[in-house]
């Protein structure tokens, strides 16, 4: 099954026949052959029921896991050919992650957390890089929270901080696994708005797993995973479904 | 953190995070540092006490005795039947040892010169040692008479140091220095005259020039070499050559070398007192064993605290890996944390341990030898080598203990821990 649109730009994520099976006590096939292409600057929502394989796909696209079969090209590089350290470097420089929980380091301040990917890469941060990151934090309303620890900030502020951390190394792709799932609707909307703005302003491709059909409707494309297979959802149909469900409600 | 600018950029992330873990760890960090410090304190305390006692006992025993004594070999009686094939001829089965006799070392100047060439030898003293009686009026009391040059004798079996009255250096030929117990038995003091009879039958009247107390033994009398030669009728000879060495526990080797070089018997102090040496070995071995066990015990405590710390930080490890931290970076973070704990714990332990040892070195015994300051109640020795040894072993044990948790952290799969 292929779900692609006309490439507007350079393709940053490309999978071909991607299969994933977990070999535990029993063999559990999760992804059955996924072919997707995502271009730079696209905002793609991945929807699907719990256990359908959304997170597995996101982990593979984020080079945190490897496929059992098929190929995954991230920024043109086949991740199966990379060593563990090369995969780490790819995650550091090409990919950014936003999780349902912010997973900021409690020991570090908001600014230090955001600078962590840069420090992991080079051990130090230039003045320009620090200024750029501070500007991003100010842009998302965290100018007053730079030196605060995560445990003194609200859930929404922490998640915004996590988004800027994902963007700190100027990646080509940001993978977001239910980034608003743990927030109230107001904070969730704010976080989504910021992600969308960052996507438009910086030309970073966003791939967001979500259960929220309303947010998915705001994406450029919607991919649905069902029983390990992926297909593209027509946004108009999705809108109609959404309106109907709102009417029923 | 200005200090961090000294760290190479490649290690700055790991160092920053390890330091932050330790600082924000609060009570847990203090607990782990405490476990390392406790191990170091136990080692310092134990080694200071055991090696202090060992040093004290060894000094007490060896300061007043020569480390190697060279004398003419006592010939052992051998049954005639073993020397000749006498067939069934009658032969006495009763073997009787010859009575002790004064045997001269006539070529002692040569012997002294030869022994002085042996490494580790500090002092070589030709002397005369023999038995006799001291008397004042009636009741002669047995004495061991030692005749030697007072200045050299002071380096072998110090007399001046233990003097409680009078003098030893500058002893005249008709003067004698006797021990406190003998002076008490004879009821004499410095300046009184006593009669000294040697086992050779000669007798001289002498002035008590000094009285000493060593707190051990009784019936010692020191005279000049000349006087002893005349008392024992030895002409220009001596009957012993006394040797003091630098390294006490190398005296066996010196004795063997002397026996190879001169035709006399050389006996080291450690062969004279084998049970004492063996008890010293047992003491040291026990100290090392207890130190090793305390290190192992604190290593387990450290390892378990660090394992819990790694488990608590598993989500953090997952996120660090997802944002590009490599396995070796994670390994370094937790190893550096271990090093931080090891260094802080061993420095604190060394400081507290040294302070405790210093404090227990202060109390003194309620009784003292006559004329001497009272001895320490706990004869502890603050030995830098054992303090540094304890610190280095604790650092090593902590690193071993932190290796497993650090490996565990490095191996964590972010997908598993962030599910």
pLDDT tens by residue, A106-151: 888 999 999 999 998 888 889 999 999 999 899 888 999 999 999 9
Interface of B with A in 19-48 (CB under 8 A): 20-21, 23-24
How much of chain B exceeds pLDDT 70, in percent?
Answer: 91
pLDDT, mean of residues B72-98? 68
Query: Per the structure block, which two tokens stand in for B138?
Result: 């009636």
Q: B residues 371-410 near A, CB within 8 Å?
A: none
Residue bearing tokens 């009570």: B27
Tens digit of each residue's pLDDT (9 = 90 or more) over B390-405: 888 888 888 888 888 8
CB of A59 less than 8 A from some CB of B = yes
Token pair recorded at residue B409: 């952290």
d(Cα B32, Cα A195) in Å, to the nearest integer? Answer: 43
* HSE-up of residue B255 (Cα within 13 Å, Cβ side): 20
**Average pLDDT of B356-365?**
86
Phi, psi (deg, nearest 5) at residue A154:
-75, 165
Q: Which stretch of DSSP H or E encloses residue B405?
A: helix B384-411
pLDDT for the residue numbered A2: 42
| Whether residue B83 has pLDDT greater than 80 | no
Is residue B25 pLDDT above 70, yes or no? yes
Tell me if residue B317 falls in helix, strand or coil: helix
Q: Which residues of chain A have pLDDT under 50?
A: 1-7
Mutate to test the interface with A, among B322, B332, B334, B418 (most CBs of A within 10 A): B322
Q: Parallel, antiparallel, or unpaired for β B138-147 and B121-136?
A: antiparallel
Across the interface, whether the CB atoms of A119 and B324 are under 8 A apart is answered no
Neighbours of B21 (CB within 10 A): 21
B163-207 per-position pLDDT tens digit: 889 999 999 999 999 999 999 989 999 999 999 999 888 899 999
Give the contacts of B359 (CB within 8 A, at least 6 positions apart): none
Q: How far is CA B197 from CA A215, B143, B180, B236, in A?
A: 119, 9, 19, 19
DSSP state of A152: G
Report the first-to-last Cα separation within chain B, whole angstroms: 34
Tell me if chain B has a CB within 8 Å of the CB of A108. Answer: yes
Q: What residue in A sits closest to B318 (Cα-Cα)?
A: A103
d(CA A157, CA A143): 11
CA–CA separation, A191 and A164 (whole Å): 11
Backbone angles phi, psi at B206, to 5 degrees: -135, 155
SS3 B140: strand
pLDDT tens, residue by residue, A62-84: 998 889 999 999 999 999 899 98
The residues that bridge with B196 in the sheet, in sequence order, are B134, B204
Nearest to B30 by CA among B410, B392, B301: B301
For B287-345, what is each residue's pLDDT tens digit? 888 888 887 887 887 778 778 878 888 888 888 998 899 989 998 988 898 889 889 99
Q: Which residues of B touch A82 (CB under 8 A)?
A: none
> B93 to each of B77, B80, B305, how far by Cα in Å?
12, 9, 75
Q: Give the pLDDT score at A7.
A: 44
Nearest to B12 among A64, A91, A119 (CB): A119
**Site from A62, A74, A87, A88 to mutate, B interface, most B CB atoms within 10 angstroms:** A88
Which residue, among B406, B417, B12, has the nearest Cα to A115 in the 3D structure? B12
- In whole angstroms, give the CA distance from residue A111 to residue A145: 8
Whether residue B265 is predicted with pLDDT greater than 60 in this model: the reply is yes
Sorted by where each starts, the structural domains of chain A and their CATH numbers stand as: 1-94+204-249 (3.40.50.300)
What gap in Å lies between CA A40 and CA A199, rounded to an integer? 10
Buried b (16+ CB within 10 A) or exposed e, B151-185: ebbbebbebeebbbbbebeebeeebbbbbbbbbeb
CB contact under 8 A, A93 and B324: yes
Nearest Cα to Cα of residue B220 among B205, B229, B235, B208: B208
The residues near B399 (Cβ < 8 Å, ≥ 6 apart) are B335, B338, B339, B342
Strands (E), chain A: 2-3, 11-23, 27-39, 43-48, 69-74, 77-78, 95-98, 173-177, 205-209, 221-226, 229-233
Task: Look at residues A232, A180, A176, A171 and name the one whose alpha carbon lies nearest to residue A208.
Answer: A176
Cα separation, B157 vs B175, whole angstroms: 18
- Tokens for B65? 């005795």
Q: Are A52 and A227 in contact (CB under 8 A)?
A: yes
pLDDT at A4: 41
Q: pLDDT (tens digit, 9 = 90+) per residue, B91-101?
A: 666 777 666 66
Q: How far apart are CA B271 and CA B203, in angstroms?
A: 34
Measure the CA–CA gap between B37 and A151, rounded to whole angstroms.
32
Q: Decide which of A222 and B13 is more confident.
A: A222
Considering only residues 119 to 148 of chain B, which have any Cβ-Cβ distance to chain A shorter than 8 Å?
A: none
Q: Which of A111, A145, A113 is nearest to A130 (CA)?
A: A111
SS3 A91: helix
For position B419, what pLDDT does the model report?
A: 62
Residue A94, CA atoms < 13 Å, CB-side half-sphere = 19
What pLDDT sits at residue A124? 83
**Mean pLDDT within B217-232:** 90
The domains of chain B are located at 2-62+277-417, 73-80+100-263
Give B-chain residues touching A107 at CB under 8 angstroms: 17, 20-21, 23-24
Within 8 A of B318 by CB-CB distance, chain A residues are 103
A 10 A CB-CB count for B236 gives: 11
Mean model confidence pLDDT for chain A = 87
pLDDT classification of B369: cutoffs 50, 70, 90: low
A72: nearest Cα among A43, A92, A94: A94
Residue burial B56-76, b: 16+ Cβ < 10 Å; e: rest: bebeebbebebbbbbbbeeee
DSSP three-state, residue B67: coil
Q: What angle do CA B161, B163, B167 make, to 5 degrees?
A: 105
- Is B387:B44 a contact under the CB 8 Å cutoff? yes
Q: Percent of chain B, pLDDT > 90? A: 30
Which residues on B lie below 8 Å from A117 (Cβ)? Answer: 323-324
CA distance A161 to A168: 10
């Amino acid at each position: 099954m292929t779900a692609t649109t006309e490439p507007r730009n350079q393709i940053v994520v490309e999978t071909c026949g991607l299969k994933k099976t977990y070999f535990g006590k029993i063999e559990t096939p999760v992804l059955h052959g996924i072919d997707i292409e995502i271009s730079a600057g696209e905002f793609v929502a991945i929807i699907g029921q719990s256990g359908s394989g959304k997170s597995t796909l996101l982990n593979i696209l984020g080079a945190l896991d490897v496929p059992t079969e098929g190929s995954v090209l991230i920024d043109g590089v086949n991740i199966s050919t990379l060593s563990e350290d090369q995969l780490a470097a790819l995650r550091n420089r090409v990919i950014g992650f936003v999780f349902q929980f912010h997973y900021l380091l409690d020991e570090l301040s908001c600014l230090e957390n955001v600078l962590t990917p840069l420090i992991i890469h080079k051990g130090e941060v230039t003045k320009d890089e620090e200024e750029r990151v501070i500007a991003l934090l100010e842009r998302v309303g965290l100018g007053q929270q730079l030196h605060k620890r995560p445990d003194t900030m609200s859930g929404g502020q922490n998640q915004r901080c996590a988004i800027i951390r994902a963007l700190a190394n100027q990646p080509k792709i940001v993978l977001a696994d239910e980034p608003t799932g743990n927030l109230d609707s107001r904070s969730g909307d704010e976080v989504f708005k910021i992600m969308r703005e960052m996507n438009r302003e910086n030309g970073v491709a966003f791939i967001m797993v979500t259960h929220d059909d309303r947010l998915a409707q705001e994406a450029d494309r919607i991919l649905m995973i069902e029983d390990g297979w992926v297909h593209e959802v027509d946004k108009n149909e999705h809108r109609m479904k959404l309106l109907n469900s709102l009417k029923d409600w | 953190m200005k200090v961090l600018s000294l760290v190479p950029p490649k290690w700055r992330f790991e160092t920053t995070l390890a330091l932050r873990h330790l600082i924000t760890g609060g009570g847990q960090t203090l607990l782990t540092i405490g476990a390392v410090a406790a191990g170091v304190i136990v080692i310092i305390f134990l080694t200071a006490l055991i090696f202090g006692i060992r040093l004290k006992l060894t000094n007490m025993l060896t300061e007043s005795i020569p480390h190697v004594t060279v004398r003419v070999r006592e010939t052992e009686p051998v049954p005639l039947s073993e020397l000749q094939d006498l067939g069934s001829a009658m032969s006495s089965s009763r073997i009787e040892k010859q009575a002790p006799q004064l045997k001269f070392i006539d070529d002692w100047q040569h012997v002294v010169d030869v022994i002085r060439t042996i490494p580790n030898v500090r002092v070589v003293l030709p002397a005369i040692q023999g038995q006799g009686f001291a008397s004042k009026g009636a009741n002669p009391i047995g004495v061991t008479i030692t005749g030697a040059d007072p200045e050299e004798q002071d380096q072998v079996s110090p007399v001046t140091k233990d003097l409680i009255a009078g003098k030893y250096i500058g002893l005249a030929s008709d003067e004698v220095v006797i021990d406190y117990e003998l002076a008490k038995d004879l009821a004499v003091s410095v300046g009184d005259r006593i009669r000294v009879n040697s086992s050779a039958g000669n007798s001289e009247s002498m002035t008590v020039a000094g009285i000493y107390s060593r707190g051990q033994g009784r019936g010692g009398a020191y005279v000049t070499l000349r006087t002893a030669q005349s008392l024992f009728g030895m002409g220009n000879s001596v009957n012993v050559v006394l040797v003091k060495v630098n390294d006490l526990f190398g005296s066996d080797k010196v004795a063997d070398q002397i026996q190879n070089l001169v035709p006399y018997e050389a006996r080291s102090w450690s062969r004279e007192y084998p049970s004492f040496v063996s008890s010293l070995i047992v003491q040291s071995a026990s100290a090392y064993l207890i130190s090793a066990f305390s290190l192992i015990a604190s290593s387990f405590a450290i390892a378990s605290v660090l394992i819990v710390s790694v488990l608590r930080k598993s989500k953090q490890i997952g996120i660090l890996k997802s944002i590009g931290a490599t396995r070796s970076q994670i390994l370094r973070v937790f190893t550096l944390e271990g090093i931080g704990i090891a260094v802080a714990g061993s420095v604190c332990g060394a400081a507290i341990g040294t302070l405790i040892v210093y404090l227990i070195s202060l109390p003194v015994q309620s009784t003292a030898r006559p004329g001497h300051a009272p001895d320490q109640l706990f004869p502890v020795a603050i030995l830098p080598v054992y303090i540094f040894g304890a610190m280095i072993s604790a650092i090593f044990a902590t690193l071993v203990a932190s290796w497993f948790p650090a490996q565990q952290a490095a191996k964590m799969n972010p997908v598993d821990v962030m599910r």
